[in-house]
C-alpha cells in the first residue's frame, strides 16, 4: 500500500493459533468518530473493519487471524478486542487448570 506499514502491532500465538493484533485508541469526542456515535458507541466497528481489511492478506499469508484491538479513551473496547480477551482468558484458565471452563467472576465484563 504505497509505503504504508503492513505489519500489525502484536503477534500472539495461543495453542498453535496465530493472532495478529493491531491496536487503535479512539476518542468518542474526536470529530472523526462523533458522526458514527449514533450507530456505534465510539467508532469501534468501522475502525475494526478498516484494520481487518488492511491486514487480512498479511495474516492469511502468515496463517493467522487479524484482531483489530480497538480501545476507547473512555474505558470501552471493541467487540473484536473483547473476543480476543475472552480467548486469551480461556487459554490462560486452561493452562492453569485444564479442568476449569468457568467464566465465573470474569473481570473483563465489568469495565
Q: Are 66 and 10 in contact (CB under 8 A)?
A: no
d(CA 49, CA 51): 5
- The better pLDDT of the pair 94, 35 is held by 94
Containing structural domain, residue 82:
10-98
Structural domain count, the chain: 1
Q: Does residue 3 lie within any of the structural domains?
A: no
pLDDT in tens, 58-82: 888 989 999 999 888 887 888 899 9
Q: Does residue 106 lie within any of the structural domains?
A: no
Q: Are 19 and 64 in contact (CB under 8 A)?
A: yes
Q: Which distant-in-sequence residues (6+ apart) come within 8 Å of 18 by Cβ?
A: 11, 12, 59, 62, 63, 64, 65
Q: Are 36 and 48 in contact (CB under 8 A)?
A: no
User: What's the pTM value of the predicted model, to 2 decimals?
Assistant: 0.70
Amino acid at each position: 500500500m504505497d509505503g504504508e506499514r503492513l505489519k500489525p502491532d502484536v503477534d500472539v500465538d495461543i495453542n498453535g493459533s496465530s493472532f495478529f493484533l493491531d491496536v487503535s485508541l479512539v476518542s468518542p469526542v474526536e470529530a472523526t468518530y462523533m458522526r458514527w456515535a449514533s450507530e456505534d458507541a465510539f467508532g469501534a466497528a468501522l475502525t475494526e473493519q478498516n484494520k481487518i481489511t488492511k491486514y487480512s492478506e498479511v495474516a492469511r499469508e502468515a496463517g493467522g487471524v487479524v484482531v483489530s484491538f480497538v480501545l476507547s479513551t473512555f474505558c470501552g473496547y471493541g467487540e473484536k478486542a473483547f473476543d480476543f480477551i475472552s480467548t486469551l482468558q480461556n487459554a490462560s484458565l486452561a493452562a492453569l487448570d485444564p479442568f476449569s471452563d468457568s467464566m465465573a467472576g470474569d473481570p473483563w465484563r465489568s469495565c
